[in-house]
Amino acid sequence: MAGALIGGDFLGKNITVLGAAFKPDSDDVRDSPALNVAAAMHLKGSYVRMHDPKAISNARFGFPTLTYCDDVQEACRNADLIVLATEWDEYRNLDPVALRSTVRTPTLLDTRNALDAELWTSAGWRVYGLGRGHLNV
């Protein structure tokens, strides 16, 4: 689905993955789908930035070729796509209006269906929920 949201070609695209841990409030990245997906997009030629409030150290150890950011705004800078992979409260509380000025293309793939799609679309974002499709209302 991520490929379709960025026009089918990962080469040269900036993709931000929010959340590396397999669940919120954890630093456990064992068998983390987020890291596996991020690594696959990286291998297809995209520039992947990851952010996670607690799991960055463990993620860096397991996937050293990805780029890790301590700040959400920095992770999202010039993004062509943001993928919400872990439903941290920090991400639920993001301001979509402020974040829109940071990204190149305001497109969000919410793999956890954790964000308020109406709030994000009213801020000018294209929002897609895994299993729910296009959520622009």
Q: In what order do the strands lie in the sheet with 47-51?
A: 67-68, 47-51, 14-18, 81-84, 107-110, 126-129, 133-134
Q: Output 2 or 29, whichever has higher pLDDT.
A: 29
97: containing domain: 2-134
What does the pLDDT look like over 67-106, one tens digit per residue?
999 999 999 999 999 999 999 999 999 999 999 999 999 9
Beta strands in the chain (DSSP E): 14-18, 47-51, 67-68, 81-84, 107-110, 126-129, 133-134
Residue type for 7, please?
G
Determine contact, residues 93/68, Cβ cutoff 8 Å: no
| pLDDT over 80 at 53, yes or no | yes
Model confidence band, residue 136 (pLDDT cutoffs 50, 70, 90): low
CATH of the domain at 99: 3.40.50.720
Per-residue model confidence (pLDDT) at position 137: 44
The mean pLDDT value for 58-66 works out to 94
Collapse the DSSP code of 56 into the 3-class scheme (helix H, G, I; strand E, B; otherwise coil) and give the result: helix
Q: How many domains does the chain have?
A: 1
